[in-house]
Amino acid sequence: MSRFFRSKRQNPQENSTTIKLYPSLQQNITHFKQTVGESTDIVIRTFKAGQTGSMDIAVLYTSGLVNNELVHDFILDTLMSEIRKTPLDAPAHKSKRYKTKHIEENGNKAYQLIKDYAMTGGNVTDIDTMEKLFLHVLSGDTVVMLDGSIQAMAIDTRGWESRGVEEPSTQSVVRGPKEGFTETLRTNTALLRRRIKDPNLWIRSKPIGSKSKTDVAVVYLHGVADEKVVKEVYHRLNKINIDAILDSGYVEELIQDETYTPFPTVYNSERPDTIAAGILEGRIAIVVDGSPFVLLVPALFVQFFQSAEDYFQRADFSTLIRLIRYMAFFLALLTPSVYIALTTYHQEMIPTSFLVSLSAQREGVPFPAFVEALLMEITFEILREAGVRLPKAVGSAISIVGALVLGQAAVEAGIVSSAMVIVVSLTAISSFVSPSFNFAISIRMLRFGFMSLAATLGLFGILFGLIILTLHLASLRSFGVPYLSPMAPFIGADQKDAILRFPRWKLTTRPRLINQSNMDREDAKAPKPEKRKRLNQRKEQE
Amino acid sequence: MWLILLMVILVWSGIGLKGLRKKGSVKDMATYIILWAIGTTGLMLYRFGISIPTPLDGIAYIYHPLSSLWKQWFA
Amino acid sequence: MMERRWFFLIAASVCLMLLSGCWSKRELNEIAITTAIGIDRVDDKYKLTIQVINPSEVSSKQMTTRTAVSTYTAVGDSMFETIRRLTTLTPRQAYMSHIRNIVFSEEMAAEGIGKVLDFLSRDHEMRTDFYLTVAKDMEAEDLLKVLTPLERIPAQKTYSSINTSEENWSAVQSIQISDVISTMISKGNNAVLTGLRVVGNPEEGSKLTNVEKVDSPAQIRVDELAVFKRDRLVGWLNEEESKGYNYILGNVKSTAEYAPCKNPEQGGITLELFNATNKMKADVKGEHPKVSVSIDVKAAIADVECALDLSKPAEVAKIEKQFEKIFVELMQSSIDAAQEDLQSDIFGFGDLIHRQEKHYWKSIEKEWDTIFPEIEVTLDAKVQIKRTGTTIDSFEKELEE
Amino acid sequence: MMRMEVYGLVKEEITLRQFILLMILFIIGTSILLSPASLAASADNDAWISALVAMGAGLVIIVLFWIISQQFPERNLVDISELVLGKWLGKAVSLLFSYFALISAASVLWTVGNFLVTQIIVRTPALVIHFLVMFAVVYGIQLGIETICRTAEIFFPYIVTLLSIIYLFSIPSVEIKQIQPLLDSSFKQISEGAAFDISVSVLPLIVLLMVFPKYVSEKKRMLPKILLGYVCAYFFIVAITFITTTVLGVRVTANQSYPTYVIAKSLNIEGLIQRAEVIIAVSWILTIFFKLSMYFYASVTVLAQTIGLTSYRSITIPMGLITIALSLIIYPSTIYANDWNETTWLWFSLTFGFVYPLLLSVIGRLRGKSISSNNS
């Protein structure tokens, strides 16, 4: 724990700006105002309090980031009206009778008094440096500063307008919880905590990013997650030295094992149930404030073919669906290239009657099959990208243009053959089957490579592509765990939840490579209805 | 095609050499360069149609007594 | 590791390099899909005819005035040379992987097909799933020109009719190249090829009118077998002999056999065979080796015109006996043809002896061709009628009464 | 132990299962496509019996490899020859061994190229194919033996499934009478076929001693599993020999360059599986990829270790270039290749695959004491 909070490398610039709070409130406020450039969203309310009204108090908060009611009811109201009667000694530093020491004494006394008796807020932190002051004010806390005190108190009043918990837009399921993560870190950790009410669920957070100070929380099940991996995660997070983190994608890119690969080695999900399931298996979740996508490591190849729903549906059905996903993966990756290879190199593999109709379609098509495929694939990619960016209202127009104009008309105009349209549509549909969106992206990238290999060497080009691809995949690791496990290295026990999904009562162990020590889950038993006879006996007894 | 191939080979071996230089073992570098020269010369000779005797001839010569004996036995 | 960082750069440049030459590429609209080759002999030269599909005609839904296939013919010194010479005629390169039939003319077959088979098995584009056939009484070129109704590609028609009649009539045999080569190489076996002939007027066959009439003036028929000795055609087995040949070799899958009633005026009785197995045995004691062939036929009654009481087992047994005789005659006719007229061991009796008596075989291997016509073949058939179809007795019997 | 760290290989570790899969792929590598022809050519009807004999004889060689590996656990072939033969003689023999592996790698590369160029992509220059295959191999070797093993583990089920498809669907066309009468060929013929077969599939297994038993993580009860793996692998060869000779006929098999490929060509199961020859080609190229990788790996590691480089990875790229160049000139023609394989290869592989380990084992045993004192 201590290691995590001890930043390995401190920014030298930051070091120099570490300034203790001044005893003088005015000085503090001036410094503060200068630093934030008199930004209008930051509210600095100064007033006098105490029996004599001689104590200067300032309340600082960022409007919009705080819950206004909280600030008014529990801070301003308390300070201004409720402690009206409390004797707060005026520091009266203007009067020359007092020395600085006195001023501080008085200030600190008043500070302690307010903190102990008056502050009705829940989470109060002491602040003694300017740096912390900025951090708290800018992240939505309200800071109360007293004249004469070298400490200030930060009250957690965070409460900004945020999206509620909604249904996640990706990875949607037919059956299963429909909650999704939001942009707020606390909401997200709460969603996880609600699913795992175990004291061993450890959540530790730390701001990352010299400018953005984004809170990044590491969530894992202590005693289940592999300690070595946990340490590695902390280590990699500590190594991050960046100005801002705007999404978990930043973190993902900075902590992954291998950058030069089209495959994601960090899993992400918008679904609390998926992440919770991962944590229960011994994986480690990384929640980044401001992003509804929570990261999960170590991530394996098979994980990208598993949907949360697999565990909510019947086992046999889930297995079938998973097999279909793998099929779709290969279809999305290889359909256009196999089509090119077959039609330009291996015509002997096509049944005669089909070959005749294919070749009739290609009569008059001016381009080679490769160019034809490339044309259609690129068109599709453009359509897809346009579809994502376009306002929803225009979306349907795009699909009409795509389907009718480009599909039908291109065939009629003799630019492409109709078989190619089928191939491209099949590819397109298959590429959306993968439950994980970023995995689909890597398939789409590789597809073009395979197409050019197919265009030059036919099926053997594809085969060499596959060999190299598999070599590459086999060399990948995610936080030390081989990416292709449990297929390679083959682990028999883990096959129960890899390509297949065994019934719930068979899934009694956690994946072996994810956690080395704590393998056993609770031993669920296959449901066995009581025999009628015994049931009757029991009734009699009752 | 040959030009592109040559470029690919050059880039490929250049990258290999660069990686090697970082590790900084003289012996490794020397071996690398010698072997690389042999390989590239072989490829270039093949490219310009200069026939190189196959190394198998030598091996066949060494084993000639044995293989002729074998042949006689099975003849 | 440095390799991985640069890997994609290199991979991309390799792809680029590859793209610079698509060496073996053939676009679909650059090939002429050949479905059949006809091989004739013209003055010591090969005359090659290829039948090429016109894809757009075959797959178009509308009737067109153009034919579904075209043929091109060229003459050359060797097979490969002639095929390449064909490019002077065809706009596209002939593509051989989808060949369904190779048709030899009788003249060509009589001169020997060994050299052609060498090319066919050596060329990489050739597959092995086509049928080898011989055109009877005509040039292979003319046979390939016959247009066929129902199946628009004539070669496909021939291919399917060989298959169908092999399954249901069993007079012909589909012969692929590996069958021919292995029987041809073997000393104790000789090859047969499927025979093709045109019924009707071959002149009409090449015209589009051939497929415009309900009853096509020219039709391709498959019902005979061409008999080879080594790689030369020596003669033909007619339909009955072909059937006998298939019975002997146990190739019959299903067929129909007819026998007249006791009173021939009534008509006859027809059996539908659904299982025929053979047993061959060689006996080398004595001067000449003896071969005995017995077949075991299971059948159902398909058609009865005689006045018979089929409910009586004795009657059925009589029918069985009658058919046994017919089968033996069929086979005998085939053996006679092979031994006397053709003198070619198409049944593989030599191989049979080799398998059973390998030492004896070594002594006679060289003279087998002269021994074969002399060997004694005993034939035996056993017929079991298992079913009588959906009815038991014939209406005929009721009518008679 | 120091040495392992110097080589930067200390982390590499493969499971016994992975090693056995690698061995199986190595054995069936070239044989699955080429063996039936040579077996049928020499042993006629009894080709498959000849393959069985080869399997039995190969078992002895496997046990020899096993013995030498157990004699010097934790050491690879280079260490052993330096220990047994002394530093300089050991180094010289190791260099020769590296040359043997390099020649083998080049000839396997040529075989792939030749197959593709004669059967499938006819007009593509061999150089391009060789370059591409070697590129994949070098990439794999750079990533390490562990990666190669994992890749083998991924591909293995596919290879077995694809081969089984060919096997199963060929069964209906099997005609036993094609190979009758049994034992028609003489003992000479059968043993000649067996000798060729061993020289292709078993003797070269010596190169695997560069990874075995040093990198194998389980050390217990290895022999039964390895022998079982070996028998399984050889079963593929026996079965394919049986199938090709019974389906195509013995003479046709002997006369084909790639009889297994022809089998796949003629496969036709009611239109469901037909035109499946690419299946056999794909699985064959996959197996041969691993065979090539192992040859190349042995060549590179032996060379690097003998001359004492910091890592074998530093010379993979130039060695790859040499292999490509060598593969282009190694066989001037297919006729030369056949002749060489029939006459010299047997002896060449016998020298390194049998005589060499036998000598090491015997001398090692004779010098037992001095070596163990060296060790400590």
pLDDT in tens, C49-66: 999 988 888 877 666 777
Interval C236-246 mean pLDDT: 90
* Sign of the alpha-carbon dihedral angle for B62, B66, B68, B70: negative
Domains of chain C, each with CATH number or no CATH: 25-237 (no CATH), 238-401 (3.30.300.210)
Task: Give me the pLDDT at residue D140, please.
Answer: 92
What are the DSSP E strand ranges found in A113-192?
124-127, 142-146, 152-155
User: Which residue in chain D has the smallest CA separation from A470?
Assistant: D151
Whether pLDDT at A15 is above 60: no
Q: Which domain holds residue A464?
A: 317-482
- Give chain D's contact residues with B (Cβ, < 8 Å): 103, 125, 127-128, 131, 188, 192, 304, 307-311, 314-322, 324-326, 328-332, 336, 340, 343-344, 346-348
Whether pLDDT at A294 is above 90: yes
Count of domains for chain A? 3
Q: Residues A263-289: pLDDT tens digits? A: 999 999 999 999 999 999 889 999 999
A437-457 and A459-475 helices, crossing angle to 10°? 140
* CA–CA–CA angle A479, A484, A488 (5° rounding): 120
Task: Give me the pLDDT at residue C207, please.
Answer: 83
CB-CB under 8 Å, D125 with C24: no
User: Which residue in chain C has the smallest CA separation from A363?
Assistant: C29
Nearest to B15 among C2, C14, C20 (CB): C2
Task: Tell me which of A43 and D375 has the higher pLDDT.
Answer: A43
* Sign of the alpha-carbon dihedral angle for D291, D297, D302, D307: positive
pLDDT > 90: percent of chain D: 42
* pLDDT, averaged across chain A: 83
Q: Residues A164-189: pLDDT tens digits? A: 888 888 888 888 898 999 998 989 99
Tell me if residue D6 falls in helix, strand or coil. Answer: helix
Structure tokens that stand for A376 in this block: 């259609």
Q: Tell whether A373 and A266 lie within a shared domain.
A: no
Which residue is associated with the tokens 């043809």? C337
Task: Give me the pLDDT at residue A23, please.
Answer: 80
Structure tokens that stand for D259 in this block: 């009889």
**Hey, is the C-beta of D142 within 8 angstroms of any chain C C-beta?**
yes
Whether pLDDT at A120 is above 90: no
Query: Peptide bond before A199: cis, by omega within 30 degrees of 0?
Result: no
In terms of average pLDDT, the best of A208-217, A531-540, B9-18 is A208-217
Q: Which of B51-55, C104-108, C295-299, D221-225 shows the lowest mean pLDDT across its residues? A: B51-55
Task: Give the pLDDT band of residue A326 (cuts 50, 70, 90).
Answer: very high
Task: Give me the pLDDT at residue A16, please.
Answer: 46
Tell me if residue C238 falls in helix, strand or coil. Answer: coil
Structure tokens that stand for D87 in this block: 């530093």
Whether pLDDT at A524 is above 70: no
Q: Tell whether A280 and A218 lie within a shared domain.
A: yes
A252 phi and psi angles, rounded to 5 deg: -55, -45
Whether pLDDT at D28 is above 60: yes
Burial of A212 (0-12, 13-18, 19+ CB in 10 A): middle
**ipTM higher than threshold 0.85:** yes
CA–CA dist D300, D278 (Å, integer): 32
Task: Tell me which of C400 and C348 has the higher pLDDT.
Answer: C348
Interval A335-341 mean pLDDT: 93
* pLDDT, averaged across chain C: 85
A55-62 β-sheet, strand order:
A42-49, A55-62, A142-146, A152-155, A124-127
C chain contacts of residue B18, beta-carbon cutoff 8 Å: 2
Q: Residues B22-62: pLDDT tens digits? A: 776 788 888 888 999 999 888 888 888 888 888 888 888 88
User: Which residue in chain D has the smallest CA separation from A458?
Assistant: D121
Residues 6+ away with beta carbon under 8 Å from C39: C46, C47, C48, C49, C79, C102, C103, C104, C105, C108, C116, C140
Touching pair C, D by Cβ (3+ pairs < 8 Å)? yes
Structure tokens that stand for C381 in this block: 């058939």
Type of residue found at D2 = M
Residue A537 resides in a domain: no
Whether pLDDT at A2 is above 50: no
Task: Give me the pLDDT at residue C22, please.
Answer: 62
Task: Give the pLDDT band of residue A6 (cuts 50, 70, 90).
Answer: very low
Concatenating the DSSP letter of every residue in A382-418 gives: HHHHHHHHS-HHHHHHHHHIIIIIIIIIHHHTTSS-H
pLDDT > 70: percent of chain A: 90
Task: Give me the pLDDT at residue A503, please.
Answer: 87
Of A254, A270, A299, the residue that ends a domain is: A299
Which residue is associated with the tokens 């034939």? C379
Concatenating the DSSP letter of every residue in D186-226 gives: -HHHHHHHHHHHHHHHTGGGGGGGGTTTTTBS--SSHHHHH
CA–CA dist D287, D111 (Å, integer): 13
Structure tokens that stand for C344 in this block: 């070619």
Domains of chain D, each with CATH number or no CATH: 2-366 (1.20.1740.10)
- Tell me how far CA of residue A468 lies from CA of B38, C35, D155, D278, D293, in angstroms: 26, 38, 12, 19, 13
- Tell me how far CA of residue A234 lies from CA of A279, A284, C383, in angstroms: 16, 11, 86
- Long-range pairs, C147-152, Cβ under 8 A, ≥24: C147/C67, C147/C68, C147/C69, C147/C205, C147/C206, C147/C207, C147/C208, C147/C210, C147/C211, C148/C210, C148/C211, C148/C216, C148/C219, C148/C220, C149/C210, C149/C211, C149/C216, C152/C57, C152/C58, C152/C68, C152/C69, C152/C211
Residue A491 resides in a domain: no
Interval D213-241 mean pLDDT: 89
Q: Residues C367-396: pLDDT tens digits? A: 888 888 888 899 999 998 888 777 776 666
Specify the length of chain C in residues: 401
Task: Give the pLDDT band of residue C216 (cuts 50, 70, 90).
Answer: confident
Task: Give me the pLDDT at residue A469, please.
Answer: 92
Whether pLDDT at D330 is above 70: yes
For residues A435 and A325, the answer to whether their CB atoms sit within 8 Å is yes
CA–CA dist A234, A239 (Å, integer): 9
Tell me if residue C148 falls in helix, strand or coil. Answer: coil
Which residue is associated with the tokens 């005669």? A352
Of A249, A270, A299, the residue that ends a domain is: A299
Whether pLDDT at A246 is above 70: yes
Task: Give me the pLDDT at residue A9, please.
Answer: 44
Residues 6+ away with beta carbon under 8 Å from A249: A291, A293
Whether pLDDT at A98 is above 60: no
Q: Residues C196-206: pLDDT tens digits? A: 988 888 888 88
Residue A346 resides in a domain: yes
Task: Give me the pLDDT at residue D3, please.
Answer: 28
Residues 6+ away with beta carbon under 8 Å from B23: D310, D311, D314
Whether pLDDT at A350 is above 90: no
Task: Give me the pLDDT at residue C5, please.
Answer: 55
Task: Give me the pLDDT at residue A13, please.
Answer: 45
Task: Give the pLDDT band of residue A88 (cuts 50, 70, 90).
Answer: low
Task: Give the pLDDT band of residue A130 (cuts 50, 70, 90).
Answer: confident
Distance from CA of C67 to the nearest CA of D (A): 27
Interval D182-202 mean pLDDT: 86
Distance from CA of D160 to the nearest CA of B (A): 34
pLDDT > 90: percent of chain A: 22
